[in-house]
Amino acid sequence: MGPRKPALRTPLLLLFLLLFLDTSVWAQDEVLENLSFSCPNATRFKHLRKYVYNYEAESSSGVQGTADSRSATKINCKVELEVPQICGFIMRTNQCTLKEVYGFNPEGKALMKKTKNSEEFAAAMSRYELKLAIPEGKQIVLYPDKDEPKYILNIKRGIISALLVPPETEEDQQELFLDTVYGNCSTQVTVNSRKGTVPTEMSTERNLQQCDGFQPISTSVSPLALIKGLVHPLSTLISSSQTCQYTLDPKRKHVSEAVCDEQHLFLPFSYKNKYGIMTRVTQKLSLEDTPKINSRFFSEGTNRMGLAFESTKSTSSPKQADAVLKTLQ
């Protein structure tokens, strides 16, 4: 860890001392809200809690309508989102594994095994924590460690994006512009069910080609896809879309489950415009626990970055996950 910046100015410390005398969670919210960032309605996560999720992401690719050329990579991690302050988060990703397809069973189901570099991947994912904030309630600011590799940061960006549920609305259907890994995206937000007036199921839908940070041709559409080496520089992108389903806790409003499904359809020249290649990325987060925490420490750090994916300058198109990880390091 680098030197810690003193995060708290004296008046803040005084307020924190006052907080210790206060047992009402609601009152704490109010006071803390004035301390750091203001982010009205931006977050569903309560401060002084830790949200522990099981994370699963799978990236697969193959020629549409055929089963044989499929390839797939799977990531599993324990994701902890700590909330020391309102709108100030610390994310940790532990116990990760990286698996890939080694064959298919007679029913055509993919058989997966840990890659040779799964341990190395796990170590890279857990080496640095990632701090993030939502200062104005709209755009997400990341404060990564200066030594965090880009491809790891991109994978963490993907995890954060899956956790970001749109703000609560009274409308059952509306279009919002939301910050995502592909930049600012027009998003169709639907409330699918409510308990009383509180949404318990929501879904989002977006055409990724309309996002202002979407760059399909640079290296690859998604870092999760990139892990598998799904790089098609000489191809035409036909469509890219993403849908997410969120299950929300009716009382405390946090995300109990998030499932996002992203599909990119390419038309490589070699297929004579007949068959497209489909790259599919699915992500799933399931809440496991929400323990209380005591730490109120959050320092922004000096390295500020946005949520949008960064290009990782890989020009080759390696076939195996470990080759990709090597290229990107």
Ligand X SMILES: *[C@@H]1O[C@H](CO)[C@@H](O)[C@H](O)[C@H]1NC(C)=O
Residues that bind ligand X (CB under 6 A): 31, 34, 40-41, 138-139, 168, 177, 184
CA distances from 83 to 131, 192, 311 (A): 10, 28, 29
Report d(CA 188, CA 16) in Å as an integer.
40
Nearer to ligand X, 137 or 318 (CB): 137
Nearer to ligand X, 1 or 21 (CB): 21
Nearer to ligand X, 34 or 95 (CB): 34
Nearest approach, Cβ of 186 to ligand X (angstroms)? 7
Nearer to ligand X, 116 or 138 (CB): 138
Instruction: Please name which of 232, 253, 213, 243 lies closest in space to residue 45, comparing C-alpha atoms.
Output: 253
Which strand (E) or helix (H) includes residue 152? Answer: helix 150-163
CA distances from 48 to 25, 95, 227, 235, 298 (A): 10, 23, 35, 48, 11
Nearest approach, Cβ of 132 to ligand X (angstroms)? 16
* DSSP states of 240-268: EEEEEEEEE-TTT--EEEEEEEEEEEEEE
Nearest approach, Cβ of 293 to ligand X (angstroms)? 23
Nearest approach, Cβ of 39 to ligand X (angstroms)? 9
User: SS3 for 78?
Assistant: strand
Q: Evaluate whether 208 touches 178 at the Cβ level (below 8 Å).
A: no
Q: Evaluate whether 132 touches 141 at the Cβ level (below 8 Å).
A: yes
Nearest approach, Cβ of 184 to ligand X (angstroms)? 4
Nearer to ligand X, 43 or 222 (CB): 43
Nearer to ligand X, 305 or 323 (CB): 305
Nearest approach, Cβ of 196 to ligand X (angstroms)? 13
Rounded-to-10 torsion of CA 149, 152, 153, 158:
160
SS3 content of the chain, % helix, strand, coil (to 5): 20, 40, 40
Report d(CA 245, CA 224) in Å as an integer.
19
Nearest approach, Cβ of 82 to ligand X (angstroms)? 24
Nearer to ligand X, 22 or 119 (CB): 22
Nearest approach, Cβ of 222 to ligand X (angstroms)? 21
Q: Which residue has the tokens 């590799």?
A: 149
Instruction: Please name which of 47, 120, 113, 51 lies closest in space to residue 84, comparing C-alpha atoms.
Output: 47
Nearer to ligand X, 129 or 168 (CB): 168
Structure tokens belonging to residue 251: 């009382």
